[in-house]
Amino acid sequence: MTKVIKKENSKIIFLNHNLKVDSGIKIKYFHKTLVQHSGYDEDYFYTSKIKKKKQVIYAGSIYRLGKNRDLDFVINAFKDSRLSQYNLKIFGGTEEEIKELRKLVTNSDSIEINSRISKKQLGQELSSSEIGILTSYDDEVSKKYTDPLKFYEYAGSGLKILAVDFPSHRELDKYCNLIFYDKNNIESFINALLSSASFKLNHNNYHIIPTQNDRIKSIINFIYEARLEGLEPPTL
């Protein structure tokens, strides 16, 4: 990567700041790099003033690189009587994966596990929920180098976000919508979720959460910023 960045017209786009820092690229070449986060699709994800209080949602894949995203931990935490007033909805995974997760749920009407749904349906589910869960397996990539799309879909839907305390998630805290809990610590998870009742979102931050269009424009501007004066980048 160091050899690539030295080329006259080369530029590199990183998904998060940790990737850039750990890339080994010298500071003098940082002007040729861009940290460009993901963004949500405005056509499907939106916020609503009508939220179902204490409705918690997880939307995404059940496994990442063959590893469980820790949803068994989340389900076990919801069995605690202190969370009896909360409802958990899970969307994602194959029918077989969902079947295995359902085996963990016994005598509970507050946990609902579903397979994948359409993006339009997911947008409706997120907009009516109050809290989104951001969790994953604790491999090095998840902990430091991811920029999870589901964060932006949650944020674009106006959710409070309960997130496992990873450096990659800490980088997203600039929107002030994250409540952190310690990995594999049920007490920490329960206390974080209970604290969401008094957690206030700053709705002024909603307008700075990037969309997919923002992301595209940023990348195009970065690529074409060295074009000759008078030549405009292509329109979207």
pLDDT in the model for residue 93: 86
pLDDT in the model for residue 228: 44
Q: For the domain 55-208, what is the CATH superfamily, name and number? A: Glycogen Phosphorylase B; (3.40.50.2000)
Instruction: Identify the DSSP state of 130.
Output: S
Give strand ranges (E) for 44-174: 55-59, 63-64, 67-68, 87-91, 111-114, 131-134, 160-164
Mark the ranges of the chain whose per-residue pLDDT is less than 70.
65, 226-236
Give strand ranges (E) for 32-188: 33-35, 55-59, 63-64, 67-68, 87-91, 111-114, 131-134, 160-164, 178-181
pLDDT in the model for residue 4: 80
How far is 162 from 225, CA to CA, in rounded Å? Answer: 38
pLDDT in the model for residue 219: 95
How many CB atoms are closer than 10 A to CB 204?
8
Percent above pLDDT 70 for the chain: 94
What is the domain partition of the chain in residue ranges? 2-39+210-224, 55-208
Q: Which two tokens stand for residue 33?
A: 């790099």
Q: Which two tokens stand for residue 171?
A: 């980088």
pLDDT in the model for residue 17: 92
Q: Which two tokens stand for residue 200?
A: 């206030």
pTM metric for this prediction: 0.89
pLDDT in the model for residue 137: 81
pLDDT in the model for residue 87: 97
